[in-house]
Structure 1
Amino acid sequence: MTIKQKLLLLFSVLLIVYGCGKKDKSKEEKIEAAVPVKVTQAKTGNIYETISLAGDAYGQEETNIYSKVPGKLLKKLKSEGDLVKEGETIALVERDEEAMEFASAEVRSPIDGIVTQYFVGLGEYVFPSQSMSTKPIAMVSNTDNVIVEVYASEKDMGRIRKGQSSKVTADVYGDRGFRGKVAEVDTAADPSTRKTKIKISVPNKEHYLKSGMFVRAEIIVGGRNGVLLVPSSAIVKKLDKESVFVIEDDRAKEMTVVTGTTDGEKTEIKNGLKINQRVIYEGNFGLLDGTKVEMKK
Structure 2
Amino acid sequence: MSCTPLQPHQSPGQSVNRGNKPAARLRRFLPAMWNAATHRLVQFQALLVPLMISVLLLAGCEGNSDADDSAEEEEITRIPVEITTLQRGDVFAVYTGTASLETDADALVIAKVSGEVMDLLVEEGDRVEEGEVLARLDGDRLRLEMQRSLANLSKLEQEYERNLKLFDRGLVSSGAFEDLKYELDALRAAYRIAELEYSYTEIRAPIAGVVSERHIRLGNNISVNEPAFRVTAMDPLIAYIHIPEREFRRLEAGQTARLTLDAIPGQSFPANVERISPVVDPETGTFKVTLEIPDPAGTLKPGMFGRFNIVWDRRSDVLLAPRAAILDDDVSQAVFVVIDGKAERRSIRTGYSQGEQVEIIDGLDGDEQVVVIGQSGLRDGASVEVVHRGAARVAQEDI
Out of 130, 137, 141, the position equivalent to 1:86 is: 130
Distance 1:220 1:237, change over 3 A: same
CA distance in 1, matches of 2:231, 2:373: 50
Q: Is the 8 A contact 1:252 1:293 kept in 2?
A: no
- Name the CA distance, whole Å, in 2 between partners of 1:198 and 1:127: 41
Q: TM-score, normalised by structure 1?
A: 0.70
Aligned partners of 2:334 and 2:223: how far apart in 1?
A: 69
Q: Whose helix fraction is larger, Structure 1's or Structure 2's?
A: 2
- For structure 1, which runs of at least 5 residues remain unmatched after alignment? 1-18, 94-104
For 1:272 and 1:185, the matched residues in 2 are separated by 39
Equivalent position of 1:198 in the other structure: 289
Taking the aligned partners of 1:268 and 1:152, their CA distance within structure 2 comes to 26
What corresponds to 2:205 in structure 1? 109
Q: Aligned letter for 2:357? A: K
1: CA distance between counterparts of 2:343 and 2:113? Answer: 80
* Mapping for residues 1-297 of structure 1, pairs under 5 Å: 29-30=73-74, 31-32=76-77, 34-37=79-82, 39-68=83-112, 78-88=122-132, 90=134, 108-115=204-211, 117-118=212-213, 138-289=229-380, 290=382, 292-296=384-388
Q: Amino acid of the residue matched to residue 208 of structure 2?
A: D
Deviation by residue 1:203-238 (Cα, 9 ceiling, x = unmatched) = 322222222222222111112222211122322112
Is the contact between residue 141 and residue 211 of structure 1 (CA under 8 Å) also seen in structure 2? Answer: no
Residue 286 and residue 195 in structure 1: after superposition, are their counterparts in 2 closer, same or farther (change >3 A)?
farther
Structure 2: state its 5+ residue gaps. 1-61, 138-200, 391-399
Larger radius of gyration: 2
Q: Matches of 1:192 and 1:214 in 2, distance apart? A: 25
Q: Is the 8 A contact 1:243 1:255 kept in 2?
A: yes
Question: Post-superposition shift, 1:70?
Answer: 8.8
The 8 Å contact of residues 213 and 231 in structure 2, kept in 1 or not, is answered as: no
Task: Report if the CA contact (8 A) 1:109-1:140 is conserved.
Answer: yes
Residue identity (%): 29
| 2:174 alignment partner in structure 1 | none
Q: Deviations over 1:7-36 (max 9, x none)?
A: xxxxxxxxxxxx9xxx89979854236334
Higher strand share: 1
Distance 1:61 1:258 in 2: 48
Distance 1:229 1:78, change over 3 A: same
The number of residue pairs the alignment matches comes to 260
Residue by residue over 1:90-142, the C-alpha shift from the partner in whole angstroms, topping out at 9 and shown as x without a partner, is 5799xxxxxxxxxxx87543122112x439798xxx9866x9xxxx6653222
In 2, Cα distance between the equivalents of 1:210 and 1:46?
31
SS of residue in 2 equivalent to 1:139: strand
